[in-house]
Copies of this chain bind each other. A is one copy, B any other.
């Protein structure tokens, strides 16, 4: 009987579940909006129902579900699968998600933060296939990331690795959501680009508008993006000197900007920040999984770590 995998992506405003094969072929996908007011218990009930639903689909296909991978929007204690907290919804503090989802659904469950899941997803199914050493950066409202080194996800001693968004780039730079100053996230995230653009243009603009204006040749928008891409190159350079990755993958909404405004300027600035020998052969590419990156990451997490259970 063929084994399938369930991936669950638990974000702030929606949860997505996918029933997939080990090759990443999605048999069925369910997406539901969540309401922060439901709290952790309400969100958890929704997850259970989605899993039961996908389990039935698997049975109807003559297959069974081997493991459930959960990519969660907040830090997670990986070994126990206990959530530290949700970035979006109150009530998830210390929630034993792996244990409760496992006993409720009678399936093996692996839980990790969504940045690690996203990294595993691009590695297994997306722009990182076949590479043993890579850096994944998700540039959206905030900036998250993950590292694969020697064919393994880098976790760190408390599963907090990959926080490239909070690498200091300019100590005297703008205030970050984390309370410190000059973090990459405060310089190059979608919200940072929108904020700096708004200040300099003298009217409220989104990051999408800054990209659009820059495409039309607006000098202020261009200078905003030059600073944002320079900060990205700085942070990627630091990581490249430390880890010597073969490939850097840029994902998230901002990475969908035109190549000439994001990926190309990052590549052009990298020689300032990386040793020549570590720069040699280093590829900077866009992520491939797009809108379904989160749930495909959760599928990849289940496949990667399910064997440990």
Which residues of A approach B to under 8 Å, CB–CB? 75, 84, 131-133, 147, 149-150, 152, 154-164, 166-168, 171, 178-180, 234-235, 237-239, 241-246, 272-278, 280-281
Contact of B275 with A156 in the complex, beta carbons under 8 Å: no
Contact of A238 with B167 in the complex, beta carbons under 8 Å: yes
Contact of A163 with B132 in the complex, beta carbons under 8 Å: no
Taking CB atoms, residues of chain B closer than 8 Å to A132 are 157
Taking CB atoms, residues of chain B closer than 8 Å to A161 are 149, 242-244
Q: List the 8 closest A-B pairs by CB distance, nearest first.
A: A156-B244, A157-B246, A160-B244, A161-B244, A133-B157, A163-B241, A161-B243, A168-B273
Taking CB atoms, residues of chain B closer than 8 Å to A157 are 131-133, 244-246, 281
- Copies of this chain per assembly: 2
Contact of A242 with B273 in the complex, beta carbons under 8 Å: no
- Name the distance in Å between A105's Cβ and chain B's nearest Cβ: 29
Taking CB atoms, residues of chain B closer than 8 Å to A277 are 75, 84, 158, 160
Taking CB atoms, residues of chain B closer than 8 Å to A152 are 150, 152
If A168-B234, A168-B272, A234-B168 touch, whether A242 touches B155 (CB-CB below 8 Å) is no
Contact of B164 with A242 in the complex, beta carbons under 8 Å: yes
